[in-house]
Amino acid sequence: MKKFVNAVDNILAESLRGFAAAHADIVELSEKPVFVRRAGAPRRGKVALISGGGSGHEPLHAGFVGRGMLDAACPGQVFTAPTPDQMAAAAAAVDGGAGVLFIVKNYSGDIMNFEMGAEITGRENASIVTNDDVAVENSTYTTGRRGVAGTVLVERIVGAAAEEGADLAACRKLGEKVNGATRSMGVALTSCTVPAAGRPTFDIGDREMELGVGIHGEPGRKRVPLPAADDIAETMLNAIGGDLQPKQGAPLLLFVNGFGGTPLMELYLMYDAARRWCAGNHLTVARSLVGNYTTSLEMAGCSITLLQLDDDLLRLWDSPVHTAALRWGA
Amino acid sequence: MKKFVNAVDNILAESLRGFAAAHADIVELSEKPVFVRRAGAPRRGKVALISGGGSGHEPLHAGFVGRGMLDAACPGQVFTAPTPDQMAAAAAAVDGGAGVLFIVKNYSGDIMNFEMGAEITGRENASIVTNDDVAVENSTYTTGRRGVAGTVLVERIVGAAAEEGADLAACRKLGEKVNGATRSMGVALTSCTVPAAGRPTFDIGDREMELGVGIHGEPGRKRVPLPAADDIAETMLNAIGGDLQPKQGAPLLLFVNGFGGTPLMELYLMYDAARRWCAGNHLTVARSLVGNYTTSLEMAGCSITLLQLDDDLLRLWDSPVHTAALRWGA
């Protein structure tokens, strides 16, 4: 296993200390239990947004803590759900009196532990479960569809609304609207290696691609010989578009997300392929996001996400955001 | 070769089209000859900053075109210098009447072609050559030290000064000051694969690390068994610090740069190790940058850079920047 590591058991703690020190203007780290909170939280009267999940998907979620996005993130060990006490402690730390909204990717372990965290917090709360992955209906760790890179879009748009003063019910409703308008699918060219395992999660041939892979390396739809980039984009977007049924003339957000091991040069090439597919299908790409935002350690591959926008979502997307991994506006 | 590609000959063109479309609010693409220019350039009376070099180091340099940084970037083919006509055309496109400053990494091909570009442009110009890599004195493609990730810091700080109205001589002098106060060193855990070659640039054992690697996979100081993260940071920082001789009590910028294939989680762990080394050596880390900013395609590895700051450089570093890959401030 070729990784920068001192001791496998300390990877998460050391990485989070580095993250918190590098972004001390934006976040603060709690070590026991582990969570990352927005500097200056709680904000009185603001709905507090909390997400979390297994580590190894960085910058998700801690990289999205800050103004206009999350108030706290609860990282578990690599590809392992955080424990309920983390969510309860984070809720206590960032609740400004307007309640807590948990944003949870649809994995059985996350669902269970976030539910328990919500129960023991004793605070007013609600939850959104993201399940944007159209690849498969059930999977290794999931009943129903998996929550993947589309979660970033939910966190951003609901984070914008919470920043503007939307109440808990409105934030939850908006989150469900965004999740419902979001579809994703991913492909992997190589496996990732979980540090505690020390070997690749799956084997894949030199000329093979896993179509519909999950963000932990879970199997997708099938193993295929590596196609040309345009064909990969077409296959993913046919699946996404067939499910989303985007409206012609209405604005879309096109998001090409790297899984960690694919060069930016190739991600922009995939974005170009996806953009041409949209143009060929008379679809309007109004906003774009390209980069490594929901990763699977060093896995080579990418996902494509489409989000159907409207005027309200456009405005919220464009409003200022200031986090370690996503920032724009004043 | 496992890459997202349609045809090897079209990788650069398709990737740049994707980049320009995804960031149409910030940049415009010229295809013949190839360069990326800042939207709205030329700016009357502003010194125009132009950089460039082989592709495969993304987001360097096109990702740094925008307010407070570069006015244009000239990308060559992967790991291949751009041609003089690219620099001349870019200069003509973005010169606002205050002259052009070329920022060139110290590689023989880049130096030669930027010099020819400067000659044929017929515009007032000056050049800065970056050479921040302390690993080796001469290298595969370089006489003298290589210019590596420290180039990002030069582009940012000189870009800030140009935005404020500094003239060509002042920008050049500032660039030389920043380059002179910057030292870097890198390590590789895996090779990259140049698309046109189709196979890894170098062989490396399952438990080996290349110490002092260049950003094209050039050999460094030696091949060693993979050390612990703290030991890697210490070795790099001893070399960097021994050369830079940073002042105790004076502010430093600590930059941990990923080469493309290393997860963000490990980069923050390396940043934590580097930060502890600085603290142990009574050095003050005043600013930080962690991420994939000067990459070598999908190479796993990272570099560490230290920049000795002063009040003037701190102020310029903090001033607003708005590019695809680096943005903060209003």
**Which of A207, A209, A298 is nearest residue B263 as measured by Cβ atoms?**
A298
Give the pLDDT of residue A64: 98
Distance (Å, whole) CA A264 – CA B1: 16
Q: Does A226 contact chain B (CB < 8 Å)?
A: yes
Q: How many CB atoms lie within 10 A of CB B221?
A: 16
Judge contact between B210 and B204, C-beta under 8 A: yes
Give the pLDDT of residue B56: 98
Check pLDDT > 80 for residue A322.
Answer: yes
3-state secondary structure of B299: strand
Q: Please provide residue B163's backbone torsions phi and psi, each rounded to the nearest 5 degrees.
A: -60, -35
Give the pLDDT of residue B60: 98
- What residue of B is the nearest CA neighbor of A321? B328
- Confidence band, pLDDT 50/70/90 cuts, at residue B1: confident
Give the pLDDT of residue B255: 98
Distance (Å, whole) CA A42 – CA A60: 21
Query: Which residues fall within 8 angstroms of residue A163, CB to CB, at 6 or more apart?
Result: A46, A67, A68, A319
Q: Please provide residue A105's backbone torsions phi and psi, each rounded to the nearest 5 degrees.
A: -75, 145
Give the pLDDT of residue A111: 98
**B322 in catalytic set:** no
Judge contact between A311 and A287, C-beta under 8 A: no
Q: Please provide residue A55's backbone torsions phi and psi, each rounded to the nearest 5 degrees.
A: -75, 175
Q: For a pLDDT cut of 90, what percent of chain B falls above it?
A: 97
Residues in A touching B56 (Cβ below 8 Å) = 263, 265
Q: Does B205 contact chain A (CB < 8 Å)?
A: no
What does pTM read for this prediction? Answer: 0.98
Q: How many Cβ pairs within 8 Å bridge chains A and B? A: 180
Give the pLDDT of residue B140: 85
Distance (Å, whole) CA A220 – CA A213: 4
Catalytic, out of A23, A61, A216, A322: A216
The string of pLDDT tens digits covering residues A231-247 is 999 999 999 999 999 99
Interface test with A, best of B215, B265, B283, B328 (most A CBs within 10 A): B265
Query: Which residues fall within 8 angstroms of residue B123, CB to CB, at 6 or more apart?
Result: B91, B92, B95, B99, B100
Give the pLDDT of residue A221: 96
B265/A302 touch (CB, cutoff 8 Å), yes or no: no
| Eight-class DSSP state of A233 | H
CA angle A328/A329/A330 to nearest 5° reads 130
Q: How many CB atoms lie within 10 A of CB A277?
A: 20
Give the pLDDT of residue B142: 87
Interface test with B, best of A55, A191, A224, A268 (most B CBs within 10 A): A268
- DSSP assignment of B115-167, as one string? HHHHHHH-S-EEEEEE--B-S-SSBTTBSSSPP-THHHHHHHHHHHHHHHT--
Catalytic, out of B57, B61, B282, B322: B57
Instruction: Please compute the mean of the pLDDT values over residues A270-274 and round it to a whole number.
Output: 98
Selection from A258, A281, A282, A283 nearest residue A268 by Cα:
A258
The string of pLDDT tens digits covering residues B96-113 is 999 999 999 999 999 999
B58/A228 touch (CB, cutoff 8 Å), yes or no: no
- What residue of A is the nearest CA neighbor of B187? A4
Check pLDDT > 80 for residue A330.
Answer: no
**Which of A3, A229, A328 is nearest residue B4 as measured by Cβ atoms?**
A229
| Mean pLDDT value across chain A | 97
Selection from B91, B68, B293, B88 nearest residue B162 by Cα:
B68
- Give the architecture (CATH level 2) of A8-180: 3-Layer(aba) Sandwich (3.40)
In CATH, which of 3.40.50.720, 1.10.287.610, 3.20.20.210, 3.30.1180.20 is domain B182-310? 3.30.1180.20
Burial class of residue B138 (count of CB atoms within 10 Å of its CB; 0-12, 13-18, 19+): exposed
**Which of A189, A260, A272 is nearest residue B18 as measured by Cβ atoms?**
A272
Give the pLDDT of residue A161: 98
Residues 83-142 of B with CB under 8 A from A: none
Residues in B touching A299 (Cβ below 8 Å) = none
Interface test with A, best of B4, B215, B234, B283 (most A CBs within 10 A): B4
Tokens 């395609």, located at residue: B297
Residues in A touching B58 (Cβ below 8 Å) = 263-265, 268
Give the pLDDT of residue B264: 98
- What residue of A is the nearest CA neighbor of B11? A269
The string of pLDDT tens digits covering residues B144-195 is 999 999 999 999 999 999 999 999 999 999 999 999 999 999 999 999 999 9
Catalytic, out of B23, B61, B216, B322: B216
Q: Does A271 contact chain B (CB < 8 Å)?
A: yes
Instruction: Please compute the mean of the pLDDT values over residues A32-46 and round it to a whole number.
Output: 96
The string of pLDDT tens digits covering residues A187-228 is 999 999 999 999 999 999 999 999 999 999 999 999 999 999
Distance (Å, whole) CA A26 – CA A40: 9
Q: What is the dihedral of CA B156, B161, B163, B168, to 10 degrees?
A: -110
Q: Please provide residue B15's backbone torsions phi and psi, each rounded to the nearest 5 degrees.
A: -65, -40
The pairing of strands B66-67 and B321-323 is antiparallel
Catalytic, out of A23, A57, A282, A322: A57
A275/B21 touch (CB, cutoff 8 Å), yes or no: yes
Same fold, B8-180 and B182-310: no
- Confidence band, pLDDT 50/70/90 cuts, at residue B325: very high
Angle between helix axes A150-164 and A168-180 (nearest 10 degrees) is 150
Q: Please provide residue B143's backbone torsions phi and psi, each rounded to the nearest 5 degrees.
A: -100, 125
Judge contact between B56 and B78, C-beta under 8 A: yes
| Mean pLDDT value across chain B | 97
Instruction: Please compute the mean of the pLDDT values over residues A111-128 and round it to a whole number.
Output: 97
**Chain B: nearest CA to A123, how far in angstroms?**
32
- Confidence band, pLDDT 50/70/90 cuts, at residue A140: confident
- Segments making up each domain of chain A, as ranges: 8-180, 182-310
Selection from A116, A125, A104, A114 nearest residue A47 by Cα:
A125
Distance (Å, whole) CA B74 – CA A78: 40
Check pLDDT > 80 for residue B330.
Answer: no
Residues 280-319 of A with CB under 8 A from B: 285, 288-290, 292, 295, 297-298, 300, 302
Pair of tokens at residue B236: 């790099």
Q: For a pLDDT cut of 90, what percent of chain A falls above it?
A: 97
Check pLDDT > 80 for residue A268.
Answer: yes
B264/A266 touch (CB, cutoff 8 Å), yes or no: no
**Chain B: nearest CA to A161, how far in angstroms?**
21
- Confidence band, pLDDT 50/70/90 cuts, at residue A142: confident
A207/B2 touch (CB, cutoff 8 Å), yes or no: yes
User: Going edge to edge, which strands form the sheet with A327-328?
Assistant: A66-67, A321-323, A327-328
Give the pLDDT of residue B106: 97
3-state secondary structure of A277: helix
- What residue of B is the nearest CA neighbor of A62? B265
The string of pLDDT tens digits covering residues B204-223 is 999 999 999 999 999 999 99
- What residue of B is the nearest CA neighbor of A233? B4
Q: What is the complex's ipTM, to 2 decimals?
A: 0.98
**B282 in catalytic set:** no
- Confidence band, pLDDT 50/70/90 cuts, at residue A139: confident
Distance (Å, whole) CA A180 – CA B149: 41
Q: Does A11 contact chain B (CB < 8 Å)?
A: yes
